[in-house]
Amino acid sequence: MIDLREIKERRDEIAANIKNRGMKVDIDQIIELQEERAQLLKRVDELRSKRNENAAKMKGKLDSDVRAQLIEEGKALKDEISQDETLLKEVEERYLSLAKTIPNYAHKGIPTGVGEDDNREIKRFGKPTTFTFTPKDHIELGEALDLVDFDTGTKVTGPKFYFLKNEAVYMSLALERYALDTLRKHGFTPVLTPDLAKEEILEGIGFNPRGEESNIYSIADTDLCLVGTAEITLGGYHANTILEKEALPIKFGGISHCFRREAGSAGQFSRGLYRVHQFSKVEMFVYTLPEESEKVHEQLLAIEEEIYQGLNLPYRVVDTCSGDLGAPAFRKYDIEAWMPGRGDYGEVTSTSNCTDYQARRLNIRYREEDGSIRHPHLLNGTTIAVSRTILAIMENYQREDGSIAMPSILVPYLGFSEIRG
């Protein structure tokens, strides 16, 4: 949520931002509701003040007719207050539910555009892998080497679920260890979080469990959802608290079990490990001082690059355009690794600076030296998306004889240096 005290003075800026992001939010309606709410609140406050005054008069001994008259006045006030309070509550609910849909401000430097195609490539590492033979995609490789079993995933759980088997299991664990060790070196606290979170926490982070494009699984008869990412639980960690300034930055490195509905995305086009309902990630989550968040954002991107350079996978970095940002993000960088099976780059990490947008809704604050209270900035980033990285390694490291070499940096974690049938 943005700072609602600013919506009048920054109205034009907000309206332009909504448009650039391709969203439909009626800012003027929200401003009207805000004014309506302010008037009602003022009236209710005045009435309550009168009620308190009236009640205070009755503290001591009084003549019974004086008391009777005061009681009558009090009763009248009570009725009036409860009417206005009901009205205020209605207006407030409408106001807040709409105000929450206003997206975060966006960084001035990002490209304006509607979708993926408008993202700006800002860097490339390596060159798309070339082969002296006809390369296979990871589905073929996975079947041939008995590493990934989609058919059984479909049978047991459903389409877009899969079993990882044999060396792929070790790859998964090795990637997690590699990522965690790298994060620890950079001062992150390793964390394993619950895979379920309350809806209020989801909403605070900016997911709408009940929204139309809900991308997460709700648990029937509870207010819990499977988390789409540890971003949710790591952000919820400090919900409703006031942090001391010295505690910042707080840097968490969490293993994240991710669940995605991916409704409507079934079909041949998205076969394989690229788009699945469940996968694991190692996630970075940082609470920082507002004046440092842009610097930290660059650091998160640098860590992601360090990881993929360590794996020696060709990739490019894109600065995400306004239409593709997601409501909480102020700026977002994605790393896209080369995936020979797709013949294109595919997203493997994403790091967002959400400034104070999530912190405000989660009610996370910190105290400045002068005693004032502000919202810290929250950032998140993927260190490793396990399934997509396994995909990229399989396809980029395959050899003509059908075996797959392993990135040397993983070998100590794996205990083997190649996979062959």
Interacting residue ranges for RNA, rule: CB under 7 A? 5, 38, 41-42, 44-46, 48-49, 51-56, 58-59, 70-71, 74-75, 77-78, 242, 365, 367, 371, 373
Within 10 Å of residue 290's Cβ, how many Cβ atoms? 14
6 or 146, CB closer to RNA? 6
d(CA 303, CA 333) in angstroms, rounded, equals 12
Distance in Å, CB of 76 to RNA, minimum = 9
Tokens of 229: 């990412």
**Alpha helix segments (H runs only) across 135-185:** 138-144, 150-156, 167-185
Sequence-distant contacts of 85-93: CB under 8 A, at least 24 apart: 85/44, 87/40, 88/37, 88/40, 88/41, 88/44, 91/33, 91/36, 91/37, 91/40, 92/37
Q: Which of 172, 280, 293, 350 is catalytic?
A: 350
- Residues with Cβ within 8 Å of residue 257, at least 6 apart in sequence: 195, 227, 230, 278, 280
What's at 165, amino acid-wise? K
- Catalytic residue chosen out of the listed positions 275, 316, 331, 361: 275
**Measured from the CB atom, is 1 or 392 closer to RNA?**
1
Catalytic residue among 260, 331, 360, 361: 260
Cβ closest to RNA, residue 6 vs residue 344: 6
Place of tokens 């190692």: 282
Write the burial class of residue 292 (CB in 10 Å: 0-12 exposed, 13-18 middle, 19+ buried). middle
331 in active site:
no
Q: How far is the CB of 364 from RNA (least distance, A)?
A: 11
Q: How far is the CB of 29 from RNA (least distance, A)?
A: 18
Q: Which residue has the tokens 């993202």?
A: 119
Nearer to RNA, 267 or 371 (CB): 371
Known catalytic residue: 306? no
Of 4 and 405, the one with the shorter C-beta distance to RNA is 4
- DSSP of 351-410, one letter per residue? EEE-TTHHHHHHTEEEE-TTS-EEPPEEEEEEEEEHHHHHHHHHHHSB-TTS-EE--GGG
| Cα-trace Rg, the chain | 27
Q: Which is nearer to RNA, 212 or 244 (CB)?
A: 244
Task: Tell me the closest approach of the beta carbon of residue 112 to RNA, in angstroms.
Answer: 31
- Residue closer to RNA, measured from CB, 70 or 411: 70
- Of 21, 172, 388, 395, the catalytic one is 388
Main-chain phi, psi angles of 238, to 5 degrees: -105, 20
Catalytic residue status for 177? no
Q: Which of 36, 140, 262, 347 is catalytic?
A: 347
Please tell me what DSSP assigns to residue 324.
Answer: G
- Catalytic residue at 270? no
Element (DSSP H or E) covering residue 19: helix 11-20
Q: Is 92 a catalytic residue?
A: no
Contact yes or no for 376/368 (Cβ under 8 A):
no
Q: Which residues carry out catalysis?
A: 260, 275, 347, 350, 388
